[in-house]
A and B are shown apart, each in its own frame.
Chain A
Amino acid sequence: MATQIPANLKYTKEHEWALIEGDTVTIGITDFAQSALGDIVFVEVPDVGSEITQGSTFGVVESIKSVSDLYAPITGTVLEKNSEVEGSPEKINEGSYEAWLIKVKIKNPQELSSLLSAADYQNFCQSQG
């Protein structure tokens, strides 16, 4: 089954997606990531007001058998976290682009240029087998 990669989003090589709207970024994990993880049973994301830094870990997703770090696509301040997904992590398996994790206020807009386009991310996923 081909992995879904919406064209309107930006991506990281660690399989996060980012929806950029003005100075806010909504962050989640990609379909490729949820499929690789399997049944997701636990999500830990930072509280509102926390700072996250591009390229650094900001939380974890856990499947029954594994723990995976989440990497920040962008530096900024957490504006909102999706408590519905924290309470029902399986929503990420059901639709990883609907089940966003956090919304962040962008600190350095120039960081956005380092994110992958949908086409770049698709090539990257293919190279990962």
Chain B
Amino acid sequence: MSGLRTSLYQKHVDLKSKIVDFAGWDMPVQYTSVKEEVLAVRQGAGVFDVSHMGEFFVEGPEAETFVDHLVTNNIIEAPIGKAIYSPLCRENGTVIDDLIVYKLAPARILICVNASNIDKDFNWMKSQVKNFNVKLTNQSADYSLLALQGPKSESILKSIIKSLPELEYYSVAPSQWQDQSYILARTGYTGEDGYEIFGNHQMISKLWDELMKQGVTPCGLAARDVLRLEVGYPLYGHELNDEITPLDAALAWTVKLNKKSFIGLEALKDYKPRFKTVKFILEKGIPREGYPVLNEAGEEIGTVTSGTMSVVLNKGVAMARVKLDKFNSQQNFFIGIRQNTYTATYTTKAFVQGGHK
């Protein structure tokens, strides 16, 4: 049985990518080699079809105040043209999703959400509209989305789209290409410079073909996961879920407790985190999701939430959720891998320093 397919599905098949199910979508997990795809993004340019992600629009005079009320990060104070990463929480502070808010105009905001959470997010947001003077629409089916990532992204995209708007990192602008409207954002989830391009299916299909002609490497979900993990970005369903708050997941920087109000503020103001989300590097062994994190005494203090071999470091890297009351950064840590335990070095820095500006 086939799953949902993006408008570019046939191109992925023609490129002989390996297709897997992801959140109900038939998505390319890799084209040639995960390693080559990761290095293309770190050193040159790679493109991801992320059309499965959700696009919601909030329009109307109270668009800014509504979105500011919905999410934990500060939306009101950000100028028009900014992109803002934020968790979306319930009243009790638990995380519904993490998303990016794009301030297109004072009365027009785009929210891009995880594919796996589209229905959950939309139903939640709809239930919160209440008396706000806004129109909330789910336009996910009308948009395709490409993430062009890597240090050469700007020069390549400029060679295709002559009128490309000048954008700072984490900003956005509506624009036109060959009489088609699209939304250009200088965002992404790889830690590298790059763009996310929201457009209609036809326009995105044409852009994909142009990017292929320029020699941009098509990249799959596996490379995307390695890239985000190397720079220490959380992924919903791994570092984030319905049971924990952003304060358990190293996202305190996105929770603006000084805002007058937002959904979850009361709960998060007084919340004592139960967990800490931390990073480990292994000289030997590859950590994987679900592997136990142990302290010197051999006591299990947490679990790996994401793990992989870092392509850049050629070492095992992990993000893990550990019990805060059992965590002492001065201790030595170990990760249990099958019948063995391997030394894991705690680090507060990103495994790889991305090149974004």
* A residues neighboring B (CB under 8 Å): 38-39, 41-42, 44, 60, 62-65, 67
Contacts and interface: CB of A to CB of B under 8 A. Distances in A.
B131 to A, nearest CB: 47
B309 interface: yes
B217 interface: no
Contacts of B34: 38-39, 63-65
A46 to B, nearest CB: 11
A64 B338 contact: no
A94 to B, nearest CB: 12
A65 B226 contact: yes
A92 to B, nearest CB: 13
Given A38-B30, A42-B309, A64 B226 contact: yes
A55 B286 CA distance: 25
Nearest to A63: B34
Interface of B: 29-30, 33-35, 38, 222, 225-226, 285-286, 288, 308-309, 311, 314, 338
Nearest to B34: A64
A67 B309 contact: no
B308 A64 contact: yes
B31 to A, nearest CB: 11
A63 B225 CA distance: 14
Contacts of A42: 285-286, 309
Contacts of A39: 33-35
Contacts of B311: 64
A38 B34 CA distance: 7
Contacts of B30: 38
6 contacts: A39-B34, A42-B285, A42-B286, A62-B286, A64-B35, A67-B286
Interface centre among A41, A42, A60, A67 (most CB of B within 10 A): A41
A18 B225 CA distance: 35
B285 to A, nearest CB: 8
A42 to B, nearest CB: 5
Nearest to B288: A67
B33 A38 contact: yes
Nearest to B16: A1
Closest 7 CB pairs of A and B: A41-B309, A39-B35, A64-B34, A65-B222, A64-B309, A42-B286, A62-B286
A65 B226 CA distance: 8
Contacts of B33: 38-39
Contacts of A38: 30, 33-34, 222
Contacts of A62: 286, 309
Given A39-B33, A42-B286, A65-B225, 15 more contacts: A38-B33, A41-B309, A42-B285, A60-B338, A62-B286, A64-B34, A64-B35, A64-B38, A64-B226, A64-B311, A65-B29, A65-B34, A65-B222, A65-B308, A67-B288
